[in-house]
C-alpha cells in the first residue's frame, strides 16, 4: 500500500538581515530606556540582557548573508552533481 504524497511548498522568502537588525535595534532601544529609568540594584542584569541581545542581532546581520551564500553554493553544487552524474 503506497502512501499519498503531500505537495511540498517552497519556504517563504523573508529578509532575515532586516529581522536581525530590527531585533538589534529593539534591544538597543531597551538598553537606552533602562539607562534612563532607575532600576533596583538586583535588576541591573536586565541591561546585560539588552547588550547581549543587541550583540547577537548585529552578529546575525554579519552572519546571515554568509550563511545564505554558503547554502546557495551547496545547493548549486548538489544540483550540478545530480545533472552530471
pLDDT value at residue 44: 94
Range of the domain at 71: 16-84
Is 57 part of any domain? yes
Is 9 part of any domain? no
Is 40 part of any domain? yes
pLDDT band at 33 (very low <50, low <70, confident <90, very high): very high
pTM greater than 0.95: no
**Which residues lie closer than 8 Å to 28 by C-beta, 6 or more apart?**
50, 54
d(CA 14, CA 5): 27
Is 8 part of any domain? no
pLDDT band at 1 (very low <50, low <70, confident <90, very high): low
Structural domains in the chain (count): 1
**Cα 67 off chain centre by:** 10
Q: What percent of the chain has pLDDT above 70?
A: 95
The pLDDT tens digits of the residues spanning 60-69 come to 999 999 999 9
Is 7 part of any domain? no
The pLDDT tens digits of the residues spanning 68-83 come to 999 999 989 888 877 7
The residue behind cell 535588576 is 43
The residue behind cell 546585560 is 48
Is 10 part of any domain? no
Is 56 part of any domain? yes
Is 37 part of any domain? yes
Amino acid at each position: 500500500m503506497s502512501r499519498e504524497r503531500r505537495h511540498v511548498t517552497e519556504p517563504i522568502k523573508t529578509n532575515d538581515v532586516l529581522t536581525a537588525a530590527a531585533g538589534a535595534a529593539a534591544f538597543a532601544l531597551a538598553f537606552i530606556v533602562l539607562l534612563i529609568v532607575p532600576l533596583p540594584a538586583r535588576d541591573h542584569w536586565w541591561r546585560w540582557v539588552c547588550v547581549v541581545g543587541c550583540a547577537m542581532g548585529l552578529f546575525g546581520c554579519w552572519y546571515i548573508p554568509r550563511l545564505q551564500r554558503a547554502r546557495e553554493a551547496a545547493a548549486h553544487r548538489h544540483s550540478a552533481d545530480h545533472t552530471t552524474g
